[in-house]
Amino acid sequence: MKKKLLPLAIAAAMAAPGLAAAADTSGYGDIIYTATDDYSKYGPDGQKDTADDLSKSATTGKFGASGEVDFSGSPADGVTVRMDVDLSAATYAAASSVNLEQVNFAWGATEGVTVIGGIFNNPIGMESQADAPDMWGTNAGVVHNILDNQTALYDNNVAGLAVAGAVGPVTLTGAYLNDLYQSNEQNSIALVANASPIAGLDLELGYVSQASQADSAHGATDAENVIDFNVAYAIPGVAGLSVALDYLSPSKVIDSAYELKIDYKNGPYGAGLRTESVSWSASGSQDSTRDTFHVSYAAASNLTAILEIASGDDKNPMTTVTGIQPDNLTTLELIATF
């Protein structure tokens, strides 16, 4: 299972004192074929409205293509600069686009302490960004989607300054950010603690504040302050088997959301199962749920194929918050990295 690594911890390793001047370019291409995309519209009572039922999406049987190019370099000892550019191609019913995902510097201020500034991936949650090679499967989970819905910047990113350092066995991160919704008068504070108390066990507890936007245009989708706890564990004695849990608890709109994942890897082959649910704060709202299964095959060291089948149930008005596709979705994904 690919657990999200804290961006600041990665930066600390890259920005080690004495690092020689270097530049690096990497990235990936992502091709997705949508085999089946069934969905239905629901009325205000949460029941199917036969008059509005749609049995097939226009994307069924169609291809999509996107990619990313990442640039990083260390023009000076102890400082690394990074820029990630996301690209999507004009395909069926979609236009081309170019987006700046990250642009930041990481400075190894002292031994074991890193400062990062600019635009960087949200340090809260297990799945910080929707980069195809790092995702659990083809479709991002509900925790990522909820957090992404809170961040005004592209693809669940934040802007500001952060400091990370080791305190005994725990890595602590503190960040002073623009308000997640980019409010003019407020700022967000993020605090994250990471620990690996035993081999194969990774723990993370994160918190991010957010100004109330009750009177703004964002209104009901503002979750305000957010707490997230996630854990990943490689099962001892069973090579390639791991489990993970990501649990989110916002102050508003959503009571809680969780993802439970099981993964198994055996050489180039893999399989994964994920179940997830969102409980809403509004009285009478029904839980949003989704179950996803995928199998994967690494045809080469830089080419992976993923067949994913998802079955979702989201009858609430704000389905865009969870990202859950009602009914069934089957995709074939090819990821090539460089």
Sequence-distant (≥ 6) Cβ neighbours of residue 139 within 8 angstroms: 292, 308, 310, 323, 325, 329, 331
Predicted confidence at residue 220, as pLDDT, reads 52
Cα–Cα distance list, 252 to 118, 249, 317 (Å): 28, 9, 16
Ranges 2-16, 240-254, 278-292, most confident: 240-254
pLDDT at 33: 96
Is the pTM here over 0.85, yes or no? yes
User: What pLDDT was estimated at residue 15?
Assistant: 44
Predicted pLDDT at 218: 41
Give residue 92's pLDDT: 76
**Which domains, ranges and CATH numbers included, belong to the chain?**
7-337 (2.40.160.10)
Mean per-residue pLDDT, 207-220: 65
pLDDT value of residue 274: 98
Q: Judge contact between 310 and 274, C-beta under 8 A.
A: no
Q: How far is CA 109 from the centre of its chain?
A: 28
Higher pLDDT, 150 or 49: 150
User: Which one is predicted more confidently, 323 or 162?
Assistant: 162
pLDDT of residue 210: 86
Burial class (CB in 10 A: 0-12, 13-18, 19+), 198: exposed
Q: Do β-strands 113-121 and 157-167 pair in parallel, antiparallel, or remain unpaired?
A: antiparallel
**How is 243-279 classified by DSSP, letter by letter?**
EEEEEEEESSSEEEEEEEEEEEEETTEEEEEEEEEEE
98-157 per-position pLDDT tens digit: 999 999 999 988 888 999 999 999 999 999 878 999 999 999 999 999 999 888 898 899
* 300/112: higher pLDDT: 300
Q: Is the pLDDT of residue 54 over 60?
A: no
